[in-house]
Structure 1
Amino acid sequence: MAHPPLPTLLAFATLLSACVVQTGRPACGPRRLDVANLAARPVEQLYYGAPGAWGEDLLLGVELAQGAARPVVVPGVPGLTLRIVWADGRAIELSGLDPCRNARVVIAESSIRAD
């Protein structure tokens, strides 16, 4: 089995330590997060990251319909923000999510709850 090159491992370790410093809690590796949409409109985009640096849409361009649920994989970095964008362009955010402890997110009409 081939091992990643040392520079790759060092870069990953640096990123991981930066995450611990930023949030004050250790990372736990990629996590499955079940997302349920109980709102009356479809969710068009879902992001997990730092505000202003959202990265890739976790729904991969496939809307989450009203009443639907599905899993997504998020980085296991506690303390970042989950951003939901509905099909009508409105957005809502949940700050301080901990995917190391929370396994489910429920989207309601005007709120997001992590279980």
Structure 2
Amino acid sequence: MTELVVEVHVPLVPQPGVSADEYPFPWIETVEEFLQGLEDSGRGETFDDGEELDDEYLFFVWQAPESELIALARRIADLPGVPEGVYAVVTDTESEQMGVGRRVEL
């Protein structure tokens, strides 16, 4: 059965002020912790682990109406440290390629 998935595309930009010996993308962990908290509370679900695609990092959310998933993507974009330029792609579980679908500016 095909289900709606929203990909949250975050530019893969190093956190400003991170030294050369530190992990340059600590915001990825921030988003993962946020999503885990949603899952633990039963208020959201991730479709798959985050993944790099070209110069972006993608998070996948599903199991809710589109409007709720887009609202969730906006919350991700507003998390501390998350780079500017986040957008969503509305797709489904049958899609064979990431990044293919209707783009939603956040």
Q: TM-score range by the shorter chain?
A: 0.3 to 0.5
Per the normalisation by structure 2, the TM-score is 0.33
After TM superposition, the score normalised by the length of structure 1 is 0.31
Q: Which has the larger radius of gyration?
A: 1
